[in-house]
Amino acid sequence: MSALKRELRSLGAFITNKPPYCSGTLAVPNEDLILFYGKDGVASRIDLSHASEEDLKHLAEACDVATFGIAQRDVLDESYRKAGKLDTSAFSMQFHAGDAGLLEAVKTDLMEAQRQRPIRAELYKLNVYGPKSFFKSHVDTPRSETMFGSLVVVFRTPHKGGALALRHDNQEWTFDSAATFAEQSEPCVAYVAFYSDVEHEVLPVETGYRVTLTYNLYFGSEDPYHTVPNIHPNPLTESPFRDRLKELLKNPAFLPLGGTLGFGLRHQYPLKTKGAWRYERKGVHPLKDLLVYLKGSDAVLLRICREFHLNASVQLLFRDTNGKRDVEVLCDRVVDMSDDCLDTQLWFHLRENYGGKLLRAVDGPEQQQDIEVHWVTETPKVNSIESPYIAYGNGASAAHTYMYLCLIIEVGKAGNRETAE
Ligand SMILES: O=C(O)CCC(=O)C(=O)O
Ligand SMILES: [Fe+2]
């Protein structure tokens, strides 16, 4: 491996290793933890800061069986999810994530670069996970295009087990509320927030009752909140990446003549390709618009590049074909090839008709590479977007290629680049 490749890989590790969730504890006054619940005329009352086993059993018995969403349908299957739920119409309490300053913590810790963007949390359900309850691995069903994640608040009721396992991009983390509470002496609730594309699973509760509120997180206008000084987010820091990049930019041996860096985006983004030419004509540029919607480490990356005055753009990398990485083409606009009939090579078509730039080709020495991109991180395979087209060979056949969203960064030559000092 060349020295440059090694340096880029160690730089990329700071991005790739950043978890797509945040968690912590939050001090809450006891009076905010009184829960009133019931579906009939008379409501019951439980103090979630000092709940007895008997109180919790009563609450569990008042719940309905929890369902879960598959393809916009609610499904009941106790081999997949065993838990109780109350809809928002069947309970009430003073505690609101928006008021408690929790959104501020989520913005700071999870959203990072986008922390200036307003977000709001919509209360979804109260859940009770009693002994042997669980919720197998799933991703939450997005309720709208602006929903970007979920927030779970766990109350300090006696329980063991019921940790939340989170999985993304072949990595796994665990948020164990029972263990978190064991380390706290102050009255508090525990919270965990994660992006919508994070798979998660509630492991079986061994003893006691795990009581939660779940919220859907949206980009959108801000709820009023008060900053509570007692929030202790587990910080997931971005500064090692910034420091390392700065070091590299200062080093005259790093890309001495300047160059182009590529980062595969880590998160999934909805991208409408159908009819792309139509909205381009109206002046809509989805790849440019995506810059303000970047999530988590993708957003951090953009912000740091901007700090260093590096030109950054979201582009589409096309990779052809059959899993082989023989031909790669980069396009700075959305391409809809669903109606295209290709009687030439895909890379040629993209270059001729969509302004694509050839990164790598195998079919002959005469093919020119348009630009060289030094890849720092790869886009996870799950984030690929399929793009169909019709290929003419001996006859017409349906073919497809895969596109990957990436952030392309221009680095100036040594001595001619800023390091934000
Ligand atoms: O309780 C939790 O930690 C997560 C619950 C969950 O995944 C859900 O309600 O969709
Ligand atoms: Fe979930």
For residues 26 and 228, is the Cβ–Cβ distance under 8 A? Answer: yes
CB of 164 shorter than 6 A to ligand 1: yes
Q: Report the separation in Å between the CA atom of 80 and the middle of ligand 1, taken as the mean of its atom positions.
A: 12
Is 175 close to ligand 1, i.e. is its CB under 6 Å away? no
Assess: ipTM above 0.85. yes
Q: Which of 23, 151, 164 to mutate to test the pocket of ligand 1 (most atoms within 8 A of CB)?
A: 164
Question: For residue 140, how far is its CA from the centre of ligand 2 (angstroms)?
Answer: 5
Q: How far is CA 164 from the centre of its chain?
A: 17
The finding on whether 200 has its CB within 6 A of some atom of ligand 1 is yes
Ligand 2 centre to CA of 214 (Å) is: 9
List the chain domain ranges.
3-15+239-411, 21-219
d(CA 306, CA 266): 18
Concatenated DSSP letters of 361-400? --S-TTPPP---EEEEEPPPGGG-EEEEEEEESSSEEEEE
% helix / strand / coil in the chain, to the nearest 5?
Answer: 25, 35, 40
- CB distance 152 to ligand 1 below 6 Å: yes
Tokens for 356?
A: 């694509």
**Preceding amide of 273 cis, omega within 30:** no
Residue 404, amino acid: Y
Residue among 67, 87, 214 whose CB has most ligand 1 atoms within 8 A, to mutate: 214
- Kindly report the pTM of this predicted structure: 0.61
Nearest ligand 1 atom to alpha carbon 214: 9
The one-digit pLDDT tens for each residue of the chain (421 residues) are: 788 989 898 888 877 767 889 999 999 999 999 999 998 888 999 999 999 999 999 999 999 999 887 766 778 888 889 999 999 999 999 999 987 788 888 887 787 655 567 888 999 999 999 999 999 999 987 777 788 899 999 999 999 999 999 999 888 999 999 999 998 888 899 999 999 999 999 999 999 999 999 999 988 764 333 333 444 444 345 778 888 999 999 999 999 999 999 999 988 887 777 777 777 777 778 888 888 888 878 888 898 899 899 999 999 998 875 545 567 899 998 888 877 877 777 888 888 888 999 887 665 545 678 889 999 998 777 777 777 777 776 667 777 778 899 999 999 999 888 754 5
**Span from the CA of 357 to the centroid of ligand 2 (angstroms):** 41
Nearest C-alpha neighbor of 329 from the set 295, 294, 354, 296: 354
Say how far apart CA 241 and CA 322 lie, in whole Å.
Answer: 34
CATH 3.90.1570 fits 21-219, yes or no: no
Q: Is 135 in the pocket of ligand 1 (CB under 6 A)?
A: yes
Q: What is the pLDDT of residue 363?
A: 58
